Structure 1
C-alpha cells in the first residue's frame, strides 16, 4: 500500500470511530463507556505495538503502567474532585515515573531476561494493588 492510501484509510477509520456516539445512538449502541474502553485499550495496544514492533522487546509488564495510571486517576478524582484534566495529567506523570524506574532496571537486559524482568514487575504491581491498595 502507498503512504497516501494508508493516511486516507487512517482518516476514514478515525472519523468513523470519533463519530460513533452520534451515529450509533439511534441503534441503541452508542455506549460512551464502551467507546471509552475502545480508546483506552487502543492506546494500550498502540504502546505495545511501538515497543514490540519497533524494538523487538516483548514486555509482559505493559499492563502495570495502565494500572498505575488508573489508580492515580481514581485517587486524583477522590482527592481533587471529579475533574478529569488533573486526573489525566497526574496519571500520565505517575505512569511515566513508574515506567522510568522499571525501564531503568529492565532495559539493561535483552531477550528473555527483559521479558522475565517485566513479568516480575507486573506481578509485583498486581500483588501490591490487591494487597495494600
Structure 2
C-alpha cells in the first residue's frame, strides 16, 4: 500500500513539475513554432491553476466551494486597478493582486472553514454573490 501511495505522489509531482516547466518556458518555444496566441496560453495557465486549486479543495477535503471564482475576480480587479490608479508595472501589480486576493481568501476562509457540509457551501455562495454584486455595482 505504501508503494502505491509513494508512486502516486511521485507521479503527481512529476506532472506538476512538467506543467510548471511547460508554462514557464512557453514564451521561448512558442516563438520557435510560430505560436501567435500568447494570450491564449496565459488563459490556459490561469484556468489550469484555478482548476488545480479547486481540485485540492473539493477533491481532497470534500468541501464544495461556490465562491472559488471570487478570488480570481478579486485578483483580476486588483491588477487592473493597480495599473490604472497606482500606475504600477506588471510584475508588482501581479504580486500586489496575489497578496490582496490572499488576504480576502484568508478572511473568508477564516469564517467559512468553521462550518462543514452544506453550511460551508451556502457561506461560500453568499460570499460569491457579495463579490458579484460588488463587481457589478
Structure 2 residue ranges without an equivalent (≥5): none
Secondary structure of the structure 2 residue equivalent to 1:80: coil
d(CA) in 1 for partners of 2:57, 2:15 = 23
Name the SS of the counterpart of 1:109 in structure 2: coil
1:109 match = 115
Deviates more, 1:111-120 or 1:20-29: 20-29
Counterparts of residues 38-77 of structure 1 (less than 5 Å): 38-77=44-83
Aligned length: 131
Please identify, of 100-109 and 3-12, the stretch whose mean Cα deviation from structure 2 is larger: 3-12
Cα RMSD (Å): 2.3
Change over 3 Å in CA distance of 1:14–1:88 after alignment to 2? closer
TM-score normalised by L of structure 1: 0.82
Q: TM-score, normalised by structure 2?
A: 0.80
